[in-house]
Amino acid sequence: MFFARPILSLSGLQLALRAGVAATLALAIGQLLHLQFPLFVMIAAVIVTDLQPSQSRFLGFHRIAGTIVGAVLGAAFSSVVPSSPWTIGAGIAAAMLISHVLQGADGARIAGFVCGVVMLYQGDDVWTYAMHRFAETAVGIAVAWSVSHIPKLIKSGAKPDEAG
């Protein structure tokens, strides 16, 4: 049945609150630093927000590596092929596959996302644009990692290792 489970779990509430805090901080930092598109800082912060600091730390390094793969491949593809739905899709697939081969699945989605965003760019200097997207995404990942260290507001009956 559709409503058989509780409407909102405790972990779902905690994750939503952390993502909201991370989004707020990410936008504020992006604006404070006068980043080109603070939107990408916010998107990255929301996408990579986790409940566990150890999980955030472990995945953070993989996600930074995925961001590098995506930015480099997006700029490289944009330099040699015209932007179209087919080439962007191929670029995203390539970025995700390369990221997966280099480091496993943990950074693959962010690699695909960044690659696609870079390939959508229509300006002259795609490498500078890719560098900005990397910087903004990295700031968002750092914000999410920092927010994961805020103690949980509501403790569940989980083991101490899982609760904090």
Q: Angle, to 10 degrees, between the axis of helix 85-103 and the axis of helix 108-120?
A: 150
- Tell me how far apart the alpha carbons of residues 22 and 42 are, in angstroms, rounded to a whole number: 8
Among the residue ranges 47-51, 54-58, 86-90, the one predicted with the least confidence is: 54-58
Domain spans, the chain: 22-149
pLDDT > 70? residue 2: no
Q: Span 67-83, mean pLDDT?
A: 95
How many other CB atoms are found less than 10 A from the CB of residue 97? 14
Q: Angle, to 10 degrees, between the axis of helix 108-120 and the axis of helix 126-147?
A: 140
Instruction: Label residue 78 by pLDDT band (50, 70, 90).
Output: very high
Q: How much helix, strand and coil, in percent to the nearest 5, is found in the chain?
A: 75, 0, 25
pLDDT digits (tens, 9 = 90+) for 97-134: 999 999 878 889 999 999 999 999 988 899 999 999 99
Residue with tokens 């909201």: 20
Q: pLDDT averaged over the chain?
A: 86
Of the chain, the percentage scoring pLDDT greater than 90 comes to 54
pLDDT score at 51: 80
- Tell me how far apart the alpha carbons of residues 82 and 65 are, in angstroms, rounded to a whole number: 26
pLDDT score at 97: 97
pLDDT score at 148: 84
Of 105 and 75, which is predicted with more confidence? Answer: 75
Query: How many angstroms separate the first and last alpha carbons of the chain?
Result: 33
- Tell me how far apart the alpha carbons of residues 70 and 110 are, in angstroms, rounded to a whole number: 7
pLDDT > 50? residue 164: no
